[in-house]
Structure 1
Amino acid sequence: MTVRLQSASEKILERKEEIAHFITVEQNKKFPDQLESLSNELLPMRIELVKVYAKALALEDVESEQKIKEWGIETGEECARIGTTLDAMLSEVPHYRNFIGEVLKEYAIEQGMGIEELYEMISKLDYIMNLVVYYFSVPYVDYQTNLLEQSRKEILELSAPVVPIMDGVAVLPLIGTIDTYRAKLIMEESLHQSVNLNLNYFVIDLSGVPIVDTFVIQQLFQIIEALKLVGVEARISGIKPEIALSVVKLETNFGQANTYSTLKRALADLVNMS
């Protein structure tokens, strides 16, 4: 069987360009907006994948899995990088199965092989295809996940902008909801910028925060205490009546920080001090 698998592998390799071209045409019909413009980049990858299928067919399982893994790490990430979708890429699998299956069937007829031998070859092809799907998908998803996390981090960093107003004074205008991750980021950014800008006063404006609950107040208290440790006095503006009521109910020293109903009043107070 090993000799026949090697010969079948060679038959597939002889038609690698034909198979890759056929898949490119079919995929461009199915995903014209997404894949047609990427044809020049994807065609060589498809030719390489046909080669991977063909060579893996003639190798022992352990060796073929290692080769597929190496291919998947490189190609999965590259396909994600150039902007394909996982749905489009995985939709190619049946094309490879059908086309390569036909090559194996033609070879089996040519060699006078029995049903059992053909079944063994098709079963190995299915095994290889399962490995291809797995080792392609993992790095693809990892790349997309890392990209999304990086984008989320960049968006959150923009959501905590420290704005220098005058020497020794900066404002952090907060907009939107504050969750655990964002609270941690605000803490880090407040401390970093306070030291970096050599601040004396740091105004945290809550005017754009729709909900200031117990969690948010506790986080603000921690930020105030942390800033105090680096020699910066925190002041809170945008205090609405409902925020004031929530603060009073908590047993914290949050009330020791200077608070203002508006940012304008907080800045006016600082100007008068200078």
Structure 2
Amino acid sequence: MEEVRKVGRYLIENAEKIIRDITKKALVNVDIPVTEEMLEHSIQQNVEFLMLIANSFEETEEAAEAELIKWSKQVGEQQAALFSQFSTILKPFAKNRLMYLECITQISIDHGLSVENVVKINNRINYLMDVSLMETISAYEVYRDSLMEERQKEINELSAPIVPIQAGIAVLPLIGMIDSYRFQYVINHLVPLIPSRSIDHLIIDFSGILTIDSEVAEQIFILHSVLQLLGIHVLFSGIRPNLSMEVVRAGIDFSSFHTFGSVKQAIDSLK
């Protein structure tokens, strides 16, 4: 065990030189442009990683894993944010792992380690690299889901803006594919803004909607009821025949609603 610790101490003392040598060889496996700042950042992260591996030689596998997971969670999201596709991170992983193993195996042999201890070190490296990769994948998924949620929020804001027309009158044009999620956004985020904008009449225009399902058709009724409770006079415009069919299939009675063929007709009715 002492000879394994000796290799660990050597790796810690020479971590930066070892990583710079490995990085120089690894750059040939990278397909994307790498700036000096990105390169230096990657080197420092790998130095930390190598030192974690070296320190783990004196720990149990469970303790080593716990330390590496803690570290990986800190750096995983940073790595994920640098790349738009996970394949960019994953593609060179196998070759880089091999270079790590070849380098540390040679160091182990130079320190006179037995075959058994060389295998023990390599097994530990392989295991911790797999743990690190899984944490990176997890961080990337969290980052990607967060990014998609933000983009969906932006799409919702752009596809359902409240447009003032004149004093007391505004139009809410619904654009694109309106599903239950996006209609909930309208109810939960846009409706609370309406009273503060001194709107007495709101024209909800459906002419920009591609399609609509029965669940959303039911939510139209809910939206109408909510706005009425707020004292807003609601008018609907642009409900084309295919949208009307969905409303009928949903069993919703629109006969009591004020509906118009266009926004202009709705505005003229208010005059």
TM range (shorter): 0.7 to 0.9
Paired AA for residue 56 in structure 1? S
CA distance in 2 between counterparts of 1:247 and 1:65 reads 56
Paired AA for residue 29 in structure 1? V
Residue 175 of structure 1 corresponds to which residue in structure 2? 175
Cα deviation, 1:215-264, whole Å, max 9, x if unaligned, reads 33222111111111111121100122344455456543422111100111
Q: Note the residue ranges of structure 2 that are not aligned, 5 or more in a row.
A: none
Residue 239 of structure 2 corresponds to which residue in structure 1? 239
Paired AA for residue 24 in structure 2? V
For 1:123-142, list aligned pairs within 5 A: 123-142=123-142
Q: 1:11 to 1:96 in 2, by over 3 A?
A: farther
Matched residue of 1:172: which SS? strand
Residue 5 of structure 1 corresponds to which residue in structure 2? 4
Paired AA for residue 3 in structure 2? R
Q: 1:88 to 1:14 in 2, by over 3 A?
A: farther
Structure 1 position 92, deviation (Å)? 4.8
Does residue 73 of structure 1 match 2:92? no
CA distance in 1 between counterparts of 2:41 and 2:81 reads 12
8 Å contact from structure 1 (residues 23, 92) kept in 2: no
CA distance in 1 between counterparts of 2:250 and 2:118 reads 75
Matched residue of 2:224: which SS? helix
Q: 1:188 to 1:22 in 2, by over 3 A?
A: same
Calculate the aligned-residue CA RMSD, in Å: 2.5
Cα deviation, 1:6-38, whole Å, max 9, x if unaligned, reads 111122234422332244334543334343462
CA distance in 2 between counterparts of 1:211 and 1:52 reads 55
Structure 1 position 204, deviation (Å)? 0.5
Cα deviation, 1:22-68, whole Å, max 9, x if unaligned, reads 44334543334343462232222222222222222332223212221
CA distance in 2 between counterparts of 1:220 and 1:257 reads 11
8 Å contact from structure 2 (residues 80, 136) kept in 1: no
TM-score, normalised to structure 1, is 0.86
CA distance in 2 between counterparts of 1:258 and 1:251 reads 18
Structure 1 position 84, deviation (Å)? 6.4
Paired AA for residue 197 in structure 1? R
8 Å contact from structure 2 (residues 4, 117) kept in 1: no
Residue 18 of structure 2 corresponds to which residue in structure 1? 19
Paired AA for residue 18 in structure 2? I
8 Å contact from structure 1 (residues 57, 128) kept in 2: no
CA distance in 1 between counterparts of 2:205 and 2:196 reads 20
Q: Give aligned-pair identity as a percent.
A: 26
Q: Note the residue ranges of structure 1 that are not aligned, 5 or more in a row.
A: none
Q: 1:125 to 1:66 in 2, by over 3 A?
A: same
Q: 1:139 to 1:118 in 2, by over 3 A?
A: same
Cα deviation, 1:95-150, whole Å, max 9, x if unaligned, reads 55334423443344345443223222222222222222223332232122212211
For 1:166-245, list aligned pairs within 5 A: 166-245=166-245
8 Å contact from structure 1 (residues 13, 54) kept in 2: yes
Residue 254 of structure 1 corresponds to which residue in structure 2? 254
Paired AA for residue 236 in structure 2? I
Structure 1 position 185, deviation (Å)? 0.9
CA distance in 2 between counterparts of 1:204 and 1:220 reads 10
More divergent stretch after superposition (228-237 vs 131-140): 131-140
Q: 1:150 to 1:199 in 2, by over 3 A?
A: same
